[in-house]
Amino acid sequence: MFDDNGSFLLAMFEFFIFVAWIMCLFYVFGDVFRSRDLGGVAKTLWCVFIIVLPFLGVFVYLIARGNGMTQRSMEARQQLLDQQAQYVRSVAASNGGGSGVDEIASAKKLLDDGAISQTEFEQLKARALATTNVGGAAGA
C-alpha cells in the first residue's frame, strides 16, 4: 500500500486535514444552531449553503459571522458553569450543608432510637457546632 515513507507521511497529512475539516464543519454547524440572532430560515439557508458548497460555505460563514463565534461560545460556556454552580449549591443545601441544628436533631433521633451511644452523640454534636461556628464566622 505504502511504497515508501513519503507516501505514508502524505497519507497521514491527508488524514489530519480530513479530521480537521470535519471538526471545522461540526464547529460551524454548532455555531449556526447556537446562534440566537438567526431565525429558522437563516439557519436553514446557512446549512444548505454549507452542505451544497462545503468549502465556500464554511469560508463565507467564517468571514461573515466569525467575530461572534467566540462570544457565543463563551456565553454558552458561562451558562453551563452557572447551571453547574446552581446544581452544586442545591445539592449542598439539601444535604444539610448549612444547618448544624438539623445535624444535631438527626443525631438526637439516632440516639433516641439506640443507633448511636451518648459519646457518639456528643461527638456529632460537637462537630455540628464547630461546623456551624466556622460557617457563622465566615459569613460574618
Residue ranges of domains in the chain? 1-72
Dihedral, CA of residue 100, residue 105, residue 107 and residue 113, to nearest 10: -170
Helices (H), the chain: 5-34, 40-52, 54-94, 100-113, 118-139
Label residue 49 by pLDDT band (50, 70, 90).
Answer: very high
Provide the percentage of residues in the chain whose pLDDT is more than 70. 86
For residue 94, what pLDDT is reported? 67
Q: pTM of the entire structure?
A: 0.54
pLDDT reading at 95 higher than 90? no
Position 131 scores a pLDDT of 72
Contact yes or no for 73/31 (Cβ under 8 A): yes
Cell of 99: 444547618
The residues, any chain, with a CB within 8 Å of residue 137's CB and separated by 6 or more, are: none
Nearest one of 101, 85, 109 to 135, comparing CA atoms: 101
Least confident of 11-15, 47-51, 74-78, 89-93: 89-93
The Cα–Cα gap between 95 and 60 comes to 52
